[in-house]
Amino acid sequence: MSSESHEPRLTSALRQLLWQRRTAALATRDEAGAPAVSLVPFAVCPALQCLVIHVSALSPHTAQLQADPRAAVLVDAGEVDGEPVHALHRLSLSVRAETAGGEALAVARQDYLTRFPEAADMTALPDFRFVLLHPLQGRQIAGFGAARRIDGTDLCAALAAGRP
């Protein structure tokens, strides 16, 4: 019997959500402190225990993350026709953004391109970079009555576990 069979149900659902969904809402703050939201493709990076995004220097959220690395990410399961949206599976994360460099850059690039091979040409453009989103804490809603707060340590462990 594998150890994964003993994984708590909500942790299993969290991992499935992160590996099945490919986009997230990224919340940052602009230079005046006002909230700003962008839709970003993301990859899970088990070795670095974080999410990875690929951003352009031309995008406002890139400068916003450089000015203030505190951000939030929302990943949701997507609506299903006929199903109540109030019980929609979703995960909100508070994250710390860091531009990938050194060995982390190679790992982040590989994980991102594994998920998005069509982005290979974009990774060669000089104004693009990989940003690591390190989870600090989160809130998971996995259905009616199935909600919890998750600390950074547990989130990192779920990310490190890899694909479900």
Query: For the segment 36-50, what is each residue's pLDDT rounded down to a tens digit?
Result: 999 999 999 999 999
Query: For the segment 53-83, what is each residue's pLDDT rounded down to a tens digit?
Result: 999 999 999 999 999 999 999 999 999 899 8
Fill in the amino acid letter for 132.
L
Alpha-carbon span 105 to 128, nearest angstrom: 12
Q: How many CB atoms lie within 10 A of CB 133?
A: 25
Q: At 138, is the pLDDT very low, low, confident or very high (cuts 50, 70, 90)? A: very high
CATH of the domain at 50: 2.30.110.10
Instruction: Encode burial over 55-69: b for 16+ CB neighbours within 10 A, e otherwise.
Output: beeeeebbebbeeeb
53: enclosing H helix or E strand: strand 50-56
- Residue 1 tokens read as 């019997």
Q: What is the average pLDDT across 29-38? A: 96
Alpha-carbon span 34 to 161, nearest angstrom: 35
118-127: long-range contacts (C-beta < 8 A, 24 or more apart)?
119/41, 119/54, 122/54, 123/54, 125/56, 127/56, 127/57, 127/58
Query: Looking at residue 5, what is its pLDDT?
Result: 54
**pLDDT > 80? residue 18:** yes
Q: Bridge partners of 83?
A: none
Query: Looking at residue 25, what is its pLDDT?
Result: 99
Total count of domains within the chain: 1
Contact 108, 132 (CB under 8 A): yes
**pLDDT > 70? residue 6:** no
**pLDDT > 70? residue 4:** no
Q: At 139, is the pLDDT very low, low, confident or very high (cuts 50, 70, 90)? A: very high
Contact 96, 26 (CB under 8 A): no
Range of the domain at 31: 3-160
Q: At 87, is the pLDDT very low, low, confident or very high (cuts 50, 70, 90)? A: confident
Mean pLDDT of the chain: 94
Distance of CA 133 to the CA centre of its chain: 7
Q: How many CB atoms lie within 10 A of CB 16?
A: 15
Query: For the segment 90-125, what is each residue's pLDDT rounded down to a tens digit?
Result: 999 999 999 999 999 999 999 999 999 999 999 999
